[in-house]
Chain A
Amino acid sequence: MLPSPISDPPTSSAAAASDDVDNNLQPFFVLHKALPRKSERKSSGCGRARRKIDLPPSSPKSIEKSDVSSPEEANDRIYEQLRLQAFNRTWSKIDSTIKDVLRQINLNLFDEVQRWVLESFSNIKSIRPHKVSEIQRPYPLVTDTICRKIPTALIFTKNAEFVDDLLTFQELGGHLKSSGCHVAYLSSLDFSVKHGISGCLRSLLRQLVSEAPDMADIYILASWYCEPENYDNPILLIIDDMERCCGAVLAEFITMLSEWVIKIPIIFIMGVATTFDAPRRLLLSDAQQHLHPSKFTLGSPCEKMNALVESVLVKSCSGFSIGHKVAAFLRNYFLRHDGTITSFVRALKLACIKHFEMEPLSFLGLDIPDEDCEIFQHGQCDSLPDSLRNHAFNLPSCQREKNLKGTGGSLIHGLTELRTLQKGWSSAVMCLFEVGKQKNMQLLDIFCEAIDPTLYNLRASDHNLQLSSLTGRSLIEGKSGFAKGGFIAQAIQQVRELPAASLSHLLNIWVVHIEEMNEIQDRVRELQSIISSGGGGPVLKEKCTDIHKRSISLSAGKGTLSVNDKAAMLLEGMVRKFLMPIECVPFHEIVCFKHVDVLQSALIGDPRRTIQVDLLKSPTYLQCRCCSRRGNVLSSSMHDTSIIYSLAQEYGDIINLPDWYQSFKATVSAGTKTKRKLQHSPASKKVKATPSESEATIQARFCRAVTELQITGLIRMPSKRRPDFVQRVAFGL
C-alpha cells in the first residue's frame, strides 16, 4: 500500500490550509485506487484539521494544542462528552417542536376532511338499501343514481416536491382511522401497467381483509364489508401521489369501484401535488364522470416555514441559533434548490451538529434558557479549564468589548444578558412579522434581515444623527436608516397605512407578543385606548381614504401625530432598541453558528466539480516528489486517470480515441525512460515497476482510466454511430 499521506506533515498542513481541501478529499477518493483508505483517512483527518480551521488564527488554542498534555486531553474528552449530550438534548428539543408545529398546521385540515367524509358517507347511506343481503347481490341495485360517483377529496399539497407530505397522509389516515373508518393506502406503485387493476385490488385487500385469498376481486371486499364488525363504516382509499399513477389503470379502477360505490361506501382521498387540472390530464372523461371531487389544500410550504422559523429560530428556547450568513444560506437553499421543509430541517440539523462539534463552549448554551440553573452554570463556568475560559474570552465578540474581565461570573453574566436580549429581539421580530403578514411577507425574510449585523450597525449609526434632528416628518417619510426596500422598512411603512380596524387588531396581537417588556406594553395600551376612545378619529378616517394627503394633514396637526404614526414610531423604537442581532452580542459564538462554508460544503459538496479539480491538480494532494517540482506538466508518474483527464482538456466536446491513446502512450512512455527516479515515487510504484512497458499494459491502463472517467460521469462511452469518439459530458468547473 502507498505510504499514507496523513503521517507526513505536509499533507495534513495542506489539508488544513483550506476547508474545501478538507472536504475535497472525499470525492477525490472516488477513484478506486485509494478507496480502501477513504474511511480511516476521513475519520482521523477531519477532526484535527477542523479544530485548527475553526479557531481564529491568532487563538491560543494552537499553542494549547501544541503543548497538549495528558490531563488536558482528558478534559477534552469530558467536554466532548458534554457537548455530545448537549447536542442530543438540544436537537431532541428542536425536533419535537418542529413536529408539533407541523402537526398543528395540518390539524384543522384533518378535521375538515373528517367532516367531509362523514358528510359524503351519510349521503351514500341515504341511497343504499338497509338489507345486507341486497349488498351481497352480484348485480347492481336497481334503485340507483343515474351516474354513480365516488366522493373524492383532492388534497392539494401546494408543493411540487412531495417529500414533506408523505408523513402528512399517514397522519391523516391515522386521524380518520381513529374515528372508525377503514383506511387503506395505495401508492402509485400499485397502479402499474404491468399488474393492472388486480395489483391495486390486491394491495387494497391485503390491507383491509386479514385472510385474503390469492385471487383478488371486488366480491371479496363486498362480503368482507358485510361482516357485522366492518359494516356501516366508510372505506377510505388514500392515494398520496396521484400524478404518478398510471392514468389508464387508475381510470379502470375508478370505473370498477363506481359500480360498487352504493353498496360499498368507498371514498377516495387523493394527494395532488401540482395544479387542479392534473386529474383532468390524467384520467379519461368517463373516469372523471365517476368522481365527485371536492378540494382541500394543505398549508403551503411557506406557511409551514413561517411557523417553523417562528417556533425554532425566533422564539428559540434551545441554546442554539444561527448567524446571518447561515440563515441567508438556508433561505437560499430553501427557495432555490428544493423547497422542502424536510431538507431545511436536515440542513438545520447539520448546522446544529457542526456547531456542537466545532464550538468548544457550546455545551454552555444549552442551559441558557432556564433561569434557575445559574448555580449549576456557576459550577460549570468556574470549573472550566483555563484553556476553555481563555477561548471564551478570546472570542472575537468579547475582544470587541474591552470591559470584560475573564472570570466565570462575567461569562455567566454575558450569557444571561444574551438570553434577555434574545427575548426582546424575538418579540420585536414577531411584531414586525405581524405587520408583514398584511403584505404577506415571509418570516424567513424578516428573520434574515433582523439578524443582519451590518444593517444593525447602519441603523445604529444613523439613529445617532437622527437624534440630533428628530422630526416626525423624517420618521413619517420612512427615511430612517433601513435597507432601502428592506422588509423591516416596508413593515413600518405598512403600519402607517393600516386602516383603523386592522391596526387595533394588530395592537392586540402585539400585546400578546410583548408580555414581559412593560414600558412598551404601556405604550401599546395607550395607543389602544386612543383608538377605542376614537381619538384622532378624523385623521384615521382620512388615513383610510388616502395616504397621499397624510403629510399635509400632519404638517397641519404637527403635535398630534396620528395613531398610525405613533404605532409606527413605537415599532421603529422597538426595532432600534431590541432588534440587536445576536452576532453583535458578546459570547454569541457559544450559541450561534456562523460558518456558512462548513455547512455548505457539508450540504452541497458539488462532487462533479471537485472531482474535476482533483483530477486536474492531483499533485497538490499526493505530495510526491516527482510531480511536485515541475508545475502542472504531465509526468508519467501521475495517476493514469488524471493524466487522461488532463489530456482530455485539449479536446472539444468530442474526443478522438486514437489520438487520445497516442498522447497518453507518449506521456507514459516518457515516464519509463526516467525509471530510476520513479522507483522512489510513491504514487505509482506498483504499476510502473515492470521494466518493459508492453503495449498491452498501456492499453489496459488506458482502458481502465477511461472507464474510471466514465464511472465518475465525466465522459460518455462511444456511441454506435461514432465508434471511435467519446463524448465529454462535463465542461468547465
Chain B
Amino acid sequence: MKISGAEILIESLKKEGVEVMFGYPGGVVIPIFHHIFDAPFRFILTRHEQGAVHAADGYARASGKVGVALTTSGPGATNAITGIATAHMDSVPLVVITGQVSTSMIGNDAFQEADTTGITRPITKHNYLVQDVNDLARIVKEAFYIASTGRPGPVVIDIPVDVSKGEAKFAYPDEVSLRSYKPVYKGHPVQIEKACRLIESSKRPVIYAGGGVISSNASDDLVAFVRKTGIPITTTLMGLGAYPETDRLSLKMLGMHGTFYANRAVHDSDLLIAVGARFDDRVTGNVNEFIPEAKVIHVDIDPASVSKSVQVDIPIVGDCKSVLHEMTKIVKPPQIQEWVEKILKIKEENPLTYGTAGTKIKPQMVIERIYELTKGAAIITTEVGQNQMWAAQFYQFTEPRSFISSGGLGTMGFGFPAAIGAQLARPDRRVIDIAGDGSIQMNIQELIVAVQHRLPIIIAILNNGFLGMVRQWQQLFWDKRYSHSCISFAPDFVKLAEAYGAAGIRIESRDEVDKAIKKALSIKDRPTILDFHVDREENVYPIIPAGKSVKEMITRELV
C-alpha cells in the first residue's frame, strides 16, 4: 500500500521514538501538519521558529535524545538558522525538517523559496534535499543516525511540498549503511597505553573536561577515572556538571571567566588531559602562553578537533566514555600528592567572591540563593552575557545535563526556549532560566507557550538595565564609553508576565530575594518571571582579557 510522503515522515518519526516535536506551520508544510494533527507524539507550537529549534535543542541537551523541529520554507527556514547554528557549535543532536517549494519550482525564486540546504550547509553536520518520495524514509533514518552518532550535530531535511504529497510504499530501513561515515568509538589500545604511562610519570597533571563528556554520557566514567588517579579536574562551560563541583578535586570552570585556581593549575601543569574538549579560544586565551610546560593527551571523537589549535602529544580518537573506561582499568595512580596539595591550597586561598558592600542586590548573590533554595537540583539554562557567567560560577553543578547554555555561538535568546524543551524532557525537575534583561527580550514570545503547557519554568532576570557584558568590556577596555549598551528604557517585566498569564515578581532589595525565590518555587502550574533589580554596574570577575593569559587575569575591580 502506498502512503503519502507526509505520512511516511510521521511513520518514520514514530519509528525513531520521537516523543516531542517543536515547530511552526506554513504553506508548504500543511500536508505534513495535516498528519501531525493526530500523530501519537506531542507537538509544541512555538511562536517563532528560532524558539522551536532552541526548544528542540534544550530538549536534546536535557534528555540526551535527538531534538526534532519542523518549519515551513523560506522565512520559516531562515528563522530557524540561529537555532541550527547554535546546536552545531555545541554539537547537539537535532533533526530539523524544513518545507520547500515543489521540486519543479526550485530555482525559480518561487514564493517563500530559500536555498535551505545551501544556507545551512556550513552550520549542519549534514543536510538533505529530498528529491524523491521513495528516498524519504531512508533519509530520515540516516538523519537521526548522523545527528546522534560520532560527534553529534544538527541535520536538516528539506522536503519539497510535492514530495510530501507524493506517494510511496513505506518501509523503514533497519540499518543505515553509509560507506563514507563510520565514527570510531573505541580508542586505539596502543594510544591508551601510552597515555596511561605518561599519566603515571607526570608530576603536575590536570584534567580538562568538556561537553563531549556530557554528550557521550561519560560522567560516571570520568568520576571513576578521577577517583582512581586523584588528578584535579577543571571543566569548560560546556562541561559543567560532568564532574561534581562540590568535590575537593574540582577546580570548577577554566578560561576567560574561570577560576583563578583552574587557570593557574592548567598553566603550571606538566600534563594536560583533555577529554571531550576542543581548546576553544575562550579557554586558551593566548595559545602560546596557555600551557608552556605541559604535554597534552587529547581524547575526542572528532579527529578534526585534535591538534587544531594546540599541538597534541598523544591523541586518542574515540568516545570519551569508552576511552575513560579503558584508561581507568589500566592506569596506575601517579605520585602527585605535593602538586594536589599545592593546587588545593591555591583553591582555598582564591575562592570566587564578590563585593557585598552596599545594599543593592548583587547578581551573584541571586545565583547563590537559587542554588541553596533548589538544593542544587534544578536544571539551569542561561541566556548570554554576564548572567551566563555568574550562573556558571555561582551555581554548583553536580550532575550532567543540569547546565544548558549556548557556549560556542553565544546566542542571546537561547535560554528561555531551551528551558521549555528541557522542562518537557524533565518534568521531574525545576528548570530555571538565568537571564539578562537584554537576552530575555529576544525570545520572550515563547512565554505564552510555557503558560499554555503549564510549564513551571522560572525566569530569573538579573536586571541591570544594561547589555551588561558589552558594558563591562566598554568599561574595562573601551574608556567607559557605553555606546548603545544601556537598555534601561525597558518594559515592566511583572506586567508583561501577567499579560501572558504567568506570575511576575519584582525584587528590589536583598531581604526580598529568598522570599521571591521560594514563592516562585511554590508555583507549579505556570511560569514565573523573577525580575531582580541588581547592582547595575557589577562586573564578572575574574576575567582574562581576550587573547591574554592567566598572568594578565584581572581578579577584581581595579580602582
State yes or no: do A and B come from one complex.
no
